[in-house]
Structure formats: C-alpha cells, structure tokens
Amino acid sequence: MGEVFAYQLVARALKNEGAEVMFFIMGGPMLGAQEACKQEGLRMIDVRHEQAAAMMANAYARVSGKAGVCSAASGPATTNLVTGLAHAYTDAAPVVALGGASPIGQFHWEAFQEIDQLSMMRPVCKWAGQAINPKRIPEYINIAFRQAMNGRLGPAYLDLPGDVLYSRVREEDVVWPAPAQKHHRIPGDPGLVQEAVRLLAQAERPVLVSGSGILWSDASEELQQFVDATGIPFYTTPQGRGVIPEDHPRCFLGARSLAFREADVLFFIGTRFNYVIGYGRPPRFNADAKVIQVNIDPTEIGKNRPVDIGIVGDAKTVLRQMLELVAGKFDPRKETPWIQALREQHLKNQARMEPLLHSDEVPIHPLRLCKEVRDFLDRDAILVVDGQEILNYGRQSIPTYVPGHRLNSGPFGTMGVGVPFGIGAKVAKPDKQVLVLHGDGSFGMNAMEMDTAVRHNIPIVTVISLNGGWTADPEGTKIGRYLGYQRYEKLMDAFGGYGEYVEKPQDIRPALERAFASGKPAIVNVVTDYRARATTQRFADYMT
C-alpha cells in the first residue's frame, strides 16, 4: 500500500456508497476528484449550470430511489447549487452535493473565490459539513449519505477545501465505513395502529391522503393493498402521484375538494401538513374530522393541525401492520352514499373539461395540448411538468399510473426544473419515455440544458406551451409578463437535436410521434392561447 491524493478517496468513497452517476461542472479544486470519479466508473454528466446539476440529482433520486450526486467548483460555482438544494430540501429529496472550496490554509485572507459556503448551505440542507482531515474523507461522505437517506430525506452538503483535496494520504491510515443503509424500517406503536384501523372502520366518509413518503418507503404495493382491502377513497400530493394507478375504482380526482371538505376521518400518510394540502386545516379540510397521521419524522406529527392519532413510523412498515388488522372490518366493494357522491362529483367535473380537451380552436387551448400528450404517452411514461398555467392544466387532465413517474415544481414551487428533471429522470430510467411539459417562461431558465441532453445522448422530449410569456399579456398592461412567441424549437438546429413548431391542434400528435421516433433530444414548440387561465388556489390564500 502506498500514498494517494485525498481527491482519489472522494471517488472511491462515492463508489463505496453505491453512487453511479454524478451531475457536475468541472473546475478547481474539484478537477482531480471529478476525473477520479470517471476512473472509478461513475457516469459523469457535465451540465451548463450548477443549479441544474442539483435539480438533475433530485430527479434522479426520485425516479431511482437512490441518492443523487452533484458537484461544483468553489465560490460562485458552489453558490449556484443553492437553489437546487433548497428545492431538494423542501421536497425532502436525497441529494449528496460536493462543493470545492478555497484552501483552509488561506481562510480569511480573501483567497480566490473564498466565501463561507457552509453558512449558505446549512439553511438549505439536512446536514452540511467540511472535510478537514483528508484521511477521513470516506467517513465524511458516508455521513452525507446517511443523512440524505434516512429519517425525513433531504440534501447533504460536503465542503472540500483545495488543500485538503490535494493532500497525500497513506492508504493504510484510511478507515472505510460500511456503506450507509438506504432506509431504517421503524414500526408504528401497535396500540396506535390498532386504534387507527378501528377509527377508519367506523367512519362513514373516510379519505386517505398520501405523499412522497410512500415513494421513499417503497410502499406503493402496500398502499394499494390497503385501499383494495378497505375501499377507502385516496388522494395524493402532486409529487406523490402514481403510487396507485389513477384509474383505480377508488380514485376520484375530480372530487378532491368535496372529499376533503366533507370527510369525517382523514388518514394522512407520508406527507406533511404544508401549504400543498392547505396545512390540513379548514376550509380546505373538515374542521370536525378525526385525523390520523403517519410520518417518519416525529416533528411533523400534529404540526399545523392537531391530530387524534399520531403514528411515528416508516410508511411501508405501518401499512403492513394495518393490513394485518383489516380483515373482516371493511367491505371494500360496498357502494356507500359517500362513494356515490364522490363518483358523481368526479364525473361532473371531468365533463366540464371535455369541450376544451377536444377543442379545435386556434390558438390551441392548453387543455387540448394536455389531451394530446395524455393520449400519446405510454402508461409507464415519466411526465415532468413545469410552469404556471400548463402546470395546473396538466395536473387536472393527465393521469399517472406508476410510482415516481410524475415530477413537477414541488412544494418549493421552483420554476426551471423541467428540463433538468427530465434529464435526471431519463438517466435513472433510460428505457422509459420521458416527456417534459413546459411553460415557455420556465423553459428559458434552464434551456441550455437541452445542449446537455444532446451532448450526452439523453433523448428527452420537451413540449413547450408557447403562450408568449408568464401568463402572457401581449397588450403589455401588466409588467414583466410578455416574452414574445419565440421559436424555441430552432435551438435544436444549433444543438443537433430535433425540433418542430406546431400551430394547429391536429398537428400535435404527429409532431410527438416524430420527436420520439427521432431518438434525439427534442423540442415540440406548441402555440397555445394566452387567454387561457387554469383555476387554482390564489397565492394570497396561502398567506391567511
């Protein structure tokens, strides 16, 4: 055994933790570590902005179930990671981020790109640490993976100063920790689990609401078994869609408001009481309903709304506990007045959309665009939606059938995630269709990542709803809304991908077929009606 550079330990430690892909931009002092990662067999995907690297790592994690990895050079390169990591933090997505830093020996000298990166990262990460002792680098990286992948998941950041990275270390002095476990299965209190099942069995109008915790716990199968065994109607958060196929007989997407407002027992599992679900409070939810909450994070139990039964535990394990108790207590096929009411409301709301879904008007209504996307996609396709109007229209009209195959701007509401998310998802599952449905405003934020897709042969198809801007206003009466009807598809001529421009609704599907058949990263740029406005909750309502 001899000496190695500490940066070589970075690569070996990542490999030891099971990392397979790194999203990055090259630069000092990370050059040696990044080259060593390539030599260790990691797939190295260099991007056009570090923000996008963190976003790609997030999507890779959500689709693969593994921690995503990204890295950046020092100073402004690392500060560019912040937005992507803040998104992952709010989204509870496991990302391990490595940032180069100025040499420790020159701290406080105003060294090149010196800035307190740790202080920036602490508010947006579960854990932020700094490699001080070079021989402990495998331990630091192991800590980052353990932090990212356990409890409430989230990003972890490791600061790597240049003089630490380029130190020489005797191999025999390095201690290699066992790889971090992905997940610790914590059962719920048996008495509380029994009480929860009893309360649900007595309910006349029960509703189940699940979140991304089902995905991270790999509990989709157990959740569907529970719904099948009990007949309880279910809803998910936007990021948690597909955990049960949305053509399931107890899925009434068009009756969400009625279900929440009238339920007498609410069963929340693997989700938080944040603004996405109205904090679990009235008027969004029935004030008099009994509430059951299951969450891996004890600090989330009863946060923002008191609960009647709070169970701390892993979603998969708790659902298995509940499944052992449901036999004989439920009639899952019974057509109760509650089920009938939800079905009627669902069908009524679906019928309201039908004329717009089939509209032949020009400019194209966004719902017609959504219908064409919906009808084209494979059942197991991965759909990424990013924007404002198109995000809401897509939410209303395009179902998801497979766990983890629906990505969007998430609870942080981050614009610009679309193309990076699409790339990260396609890297995680290269055999699946990946379609990014983008607003034209949000597309511009990370549009250059289409170049990344071309250079690395990652064939995502990006469909742009071209309405001229941010909830566009061609008359110019509202400041900062109008962007113009840009020919974004022509970017692909420069990059070497595939592009089409669409103005008529009957031309959408043929364009999608050609885009996917090209086998290249593609943009289908569809002119949509700027006057269309999706119905959603006003932002001001979140503040009350």
Q: Please tell me which residue, 345 or 544, carries the higher pLDDT value.
A: 345
- The tens digit of pLDDT for each residue in 57-110 reads 999 999 999 999 999 999 999 999 999 999 999 999 999 999 999 888 777 787
- Tell me which residue has tokens 């809401």: 392
Structure-token pair, residue 285: 């939810």
Cβ distance 342 to 252 under 8 Å? yes
Q: Of 223, 212, 279, 280, which Cα lies nearest the Cα of 251?
A: 223
C-alpha count within 13 angstroms, C-beta hemisphere, residue 75? 12
127 and 98 in a single domain? The answer is yes
Q: For residues 114 and 102, what is the distance between their CA atoms, to the nearest angstrom?
A: 5
pLDDT digits (tens, 9 = 90+) for 420-433: 999 999 999 999 99
Give 45's strand partners.
23
Q: Could you give the C-alpha distances from 454 to 34, 91, 458, in angstroms and in order?
A: 21, 28, 6
Euclidean distance between the first and final Cα of the chain, in Å? 64
Examine residue 181 and state whether it is found in any structural domain, yes or no.
no
Phi and psi angles of residue 7, each rounded to the nearest 5 degrees, phi first: -65, -25
Residue 214 zone, left/alpha/beta (φ > 0; ψ -120 to 50; rest): alpha
Domain boundary among 142, 173, 204: 173
Confidence at residue 182, expressed as pLDDT on a 0 to 100 scale? 67
User: Per-residue pLDDT averaged across 160-177, rounded?
Assistant: 94
Residue 472 is predicted with a pLDDT of 75
Most confident of 99-108, 156-165, 529-538: 156-165
Q: How far apart are CA 251 and CA 228, in angstroms?
A: 11
Lowest-confidence segment of 110-114, 261-265, 430-434, 454-458 by average pLDDT: 110-114
3-state secondary structure of 386: strand
Please report the pLDDT score of residue 534 as a whole number. Answer: 79
Distance of CA 298 to the CA centre of its chain: 22
∠ CA 70-298-259, rounded to 5°: 95
The verdict on residue 532 lying in a domain is no
pLDDT of residue 544: 27
Looking at 139, 173, 207, which one is the last position of a domain? 173
Give the pLDDT band of residue 541 (cuts 50, 70, 90).
very low
Per-residue pLDDT at 538 exceeds 50:
no
CATH number at residue 274: 3.40.50.1220
pLDDT at 286 over 90: yes
Q: Is the pLDDT of residue 478 over 90?
A: no
Asked whether residue 398 is assigned to any structural domain, the reply reads: yes
Confidence of residue 539 (pLDDT cuts 50, 70, 90): very low
Say what percent of the chain tops pLDDT 70.
97
Does residue 295 form part of some domain? Answer: yes
pLDDT band at 543 (very low <50, low <70, confident <90, very high): very low
Is 182 a member of any domain? no
Average pLDDT of the chain, as a whole number: 94
Q: Which of 173, 201, 230 is the last residue of a domain?
A: 173
Please compute the mean of the pLDDT values over residues 253-272 and round it to a whole number.
Answer: 96
Same domain for 425 and 324: no
298 and 415 assigned to the same domain = no
Please compute the mean of the pLDDT values over residues 323-334 and round it to a whole number.
Answer: 94
What is the torsion angle, in degrees rounded to the nearest 10, for the CA atoms of residue 216, residue 222, residue 228 and residue 230?
Answer: -100
The residue among 202, 230, 198 whose CA lies nearest residue 330 is 230
Q: Which of 336, 349, 337, 333 is nearest to 255 (CA)?
A: 349
> Among residues 226, 186, 192, which one has the least CA distance to residue 209?
226
Q: What is the pLDDT of residue 183?
A: 66
225 and 299 in one domain?
yes
The answer as to whether 377 is a domain residue is yes
Angle CA 416–419–422, to nearest 5: 130
> Mean pLDDT across the stretch 224-245?
96
Residue, of 540 and 82, whose pLDDT is higher: 82
Q: Is 75 helix (H, G, I), strand (E, B) or coil?
A: coil
Same domain, 373 and 509: yes
Q: What is the pLDDT of residues 217-227, one digit of tens each?
A: 999 999 999 99
Cβ contacts of 208 within 8 Å, gap of 6 or more:
226, 227, 232, 233, 234, 235, 267, 269
Highest mean pLDDT out of 13-27, 111-125, 268-282, 521-535 = 13-27
> What is residue 536's predicted lDDT score, i.e. its pLDDT?
56
Q: How confident is the model at residue 532 (pLDDT cuts 50, 70, 90)?
A: confident
What pLDDT is attached to residue 533? 82
208: in domain: yes
Structure tokens at 490: 């022509």
Shared-domain flag, residues 322 and 383: no
- Verify that 329 and 464 share a domain, yes or no: no
Q: What are phi and psi of 479, to 5 degrees?
A: -65, 135
Q: Is the dihedral of CA 530, 538, 293, 338 positive or negative?
A: negative
User: Domain check: are 337 and 368 in the same one?
Assistant: no
Looking up residue 146, the CATH number of its domain turns out to be: 3.40.50.970
Q: What percentage of the chain reaches a pLDDT higher than 90?
A: 87
pLDDT tops 50 at residue 444: yes
| Domain-located, residue 180 | no
* Residues 363 and 485 occupy one common structural domain: yes
Q: Would the pLDDT of 542 be above 50?
A: no
Enclosing H/E stretch for 77? helix 76-79
pLDDT tens per residue, range 339-380: 999 999 999 999 999 999 999 999 999 999 999 999 999 999
Average pLDDT over residues 500-513: 98
Kindly report the backbone phi and psi dihedral angles of residue 46, in degrees, each rounded to the nearest multiple of 5, phi listed first: -85, 135
One domain, residues 134 and 212: no
497 closest CA partner among 458, 463, 465: 458
Q: Which is higher by pLDDT, 306 or 410? A: 306
218 shares a domain with 156 = no
- Mean predicted confidence (pLDDT) in 48-52: 98
537: pLDDT strictly greater than 50:
no
Q: Which of 514, 533, 421 is nearest to 471 (CA)?
A: 533
Q: Which residues contact 30 (CB under 8 A, 6 or more apart)?
A: 7, 24, 71, 72, 73, 74, 98, 100, 160, 165
Range of the structural domain that residue 433 is part of:
358-527
pLDDT in tens, 99-147: 999 888 777 787 766 789 999 999 999 999 999 999 999 999 999 999 9
Q: Structural domain tally of the chain? A: 3
Q: What is the CA radius of gyration of the chain?
A: 24
- pLDDT of 535: 66
Check whether residue 329 and residue 435 sit in a common domain.
Answer: no
